Amino acid sequence: MRLILANPRGFCAGVRMAIDVVDQVLDVFDGQTVYVYHEIVHNRHVVSRFKDRGVVFVEDVDEVPAGGVVVFSAHGVSPQVRARAAARGLWAIDATCQLVTKVHSEAVRYARQGYQILLVGHRNHQEVVGTSGEAPDAIQVVESPEDIASLRIDDPERLVYLTQTTLSTDDAGVIIDALKRAFPAIKAPPSEDICYATTNRQHAVRELAPLADLVLVVGSANSSNSVRLTEIAANVGTPARLLDDVSALDDAWFGDGVETVLLTAGASAPEDLVAGISRALVERYGATIHLGDVTEEAVEFGLPGNLKRVMRDRGIDPESRRIRVQAPVIREAEYGANAVALTISARGGEGKLPRGA
C-alpha cells in the first residue's frame, strides 16, 4: 500500500489559537473551574481531552455560575450571548477565529447600510447561528439553491451574500451562481469568506484524491470542514471515509484494488490521530508513506487581548507561549515509517500514477 499524507491537513490557525486559549486559561486560572461555551472546536478528542483536565462545556451561558470564567468557542457567538454573559458578570474570553469575526463585521456593516443579507451556510451550525445573531432582521440563511424560491426580498438591488467560512468551495459556487441568476445585482463580500484553511485543505484533496483509490479524512461528524473534505474527494471520483481515530479503521475498506490511500484531516483534528492511523496502515498493510505537499501555510493568530493582559499581570509573557506553525515532521516512531517525497505529479500531468498501479 502507498499512503499519501496530504499537506496541508489538520489544525488551522483559528483552531490552534482556540485550543491555546483554553490551555492558557487553565494555567492562568489554576484551581478555578473553566467553562467553555459550546465545543471549543468540533472534535471529539479535543473536547474529551479538555474534559479530562476539568473543563466544563456548556450550551447556555446561564449554566456558568455568576462571576465564572467562560471561553467562547472558535465558531463565534451572537451579540445576545455576549450580552447575557456580561449581564451575569462572567469573565469572558473570546476564542472566536478572526476569520469568523470578519464575516460578523461584514454582516453588521451591510445591515447598517440597509442591505438584506443572504448567508450561504448550514442553518444549525454554530457559526451561522452566531453570524445570524448580528443582524437577525436582515439575514436569511440559504442552504441550497432550492431555498431561493422562498426568500423574502424587499429590493433585489440591495442584496449581498456572505458565506460560512467552512463550506465546500464546490457547493458554495453552485449556490452563489444560482443566487446571481435569481438576483443579478447581488453584491459579493469584499473578500472571500470561505477561509484560507478550508480552501487549502480542499484544494489539496482535489489535487491528490485522483491519485488514490480511497481517501481517509480524520475528523468528527459535526466538523463542517472535515465532512466537506469527504465530499470534495467524492466530487473527483474517489470514495472517502470520515473517521474520528484509528479505532474506526475497518479492514473491509481496504479490499481488492485499494493500493493507494490519501490521508488528510479536518482543521480541528489533532495530528497525533493522523499518526495513529498511519502507524496502523504501516503495520497492517506494509504501507509506504509519501508526502503530498500541495500548499505551504504559515498563518498564525495571536491570543485575545484580555487574556494577554491577565497573563502579563501574572508575570507570564504571552510571546513566550506562542505556538509556531510548521508542517508535521514524519518520524517512524509516531507514523510507523519515515516518509519520502511524492514523486508523481499531483496535477495529473506526465508521470501521474495510474489507478491501482
Closer residue to ligand SF4, CB minimum distance, 116 or 225: 225
**What is the nearest approach in angstroms of ligand SF4 to the Cβ of residue 257?**
33
Using CA atoms, how far apart are residues 119 and 138, in angstroms rounded to an integer?
A: 10
What is the enclosing helix (H) or strand (E) of 49? Answer: helix 44-52
Q: Does the footprint of ligand SF4 cover residue 310 (CB under 6 A)?
A: no
Marked catalytic residue, from 106, 127, 134, 207: 127
Q: Does the footprint of ligand SF4 cover residue 197 (CB under 6 A)?
A: yes
Closer residue to ligand SF4, CB minimum distance, 8 or 336: 8
Of the ranges 8-16, 65-73, 167-175, 316-324, which one interacts with ligand SF4 (CB under 6 A)? 8-16
Using CA atoms, how far apart are residues 33 and 264, in angstroms rounded to an integer?
A: 35
Whether the bond into 8 is cis, omega within 30 of 0:
yes
Q: Does the footprint of ligand SF4 cover residue 97 (CB under 6 A)?
A: yes
CB 197 within 8 A of CB 242: no
Question: All 3 cell numbers of residue 13?
Answer: 490557525
Q: Does the footprint of ligand SF4 cover residue 126 (CB under 6 A)?
A: no
What are the start-end ranges of the E strands in 86-170?
91-94, 116-120, 139-142, 159-163
Q: Does the footprint of ligand SF4 cover residue 99 (CB under 6 A)?
A: yes
Of the ranges 128-136, 153-161, 194-202, 214-222, which one interacts with ligand SF4 (CB under 6 A)? 194-202
What is the enclosing helix (H) or strand (E) of 7? Answer: strand 2-7
Could you give the string, one character per residue 207-236, with x where binding to ligand SF4 holds by CB under 6 A and - elsewhere?
Answer: ------------------x-----------
Q: Which residues of 99-118 are buried (b: 16+ CB within 10 A; e: fewer)?
A: bbebbbebbbebbeeebbbb
Task: Clarify whether 350 is annotated catalytic.
Answer: no
Helix, strand, coil distribution of the chain in percent, nearest 5: 40, 15, 40
Q: Does the footprint of ligand SF4 cover residue 100 (CB under 6 A)?
A: yes
**What is the nearest approach in angstroms of ligand SF4 to the Cβ of residue 114?**
27
CB 206 within 8 A of CB 213: no
**What is the nearest approach in angstroms of ligand SF4 to the Cβ of residue 144?**
22
Q: Does the footprint of ligand SF4 cover residue 73 (CB under 6 A)?
A: no
Cross-strand partners of 5: 263, 291
Could you give the string, one character per residue 255-294, with x where binding to ligand SF4 holds by CB under 6 A and - elsewhere?
Answer: ------------x---------------------------
Active site (catalytic) residues: 127
The footprint of ligand SF4 (CB under 6 A) covers 12-15, 74, 97, 99-100, 165-166, 195, 197-198, 225, 267
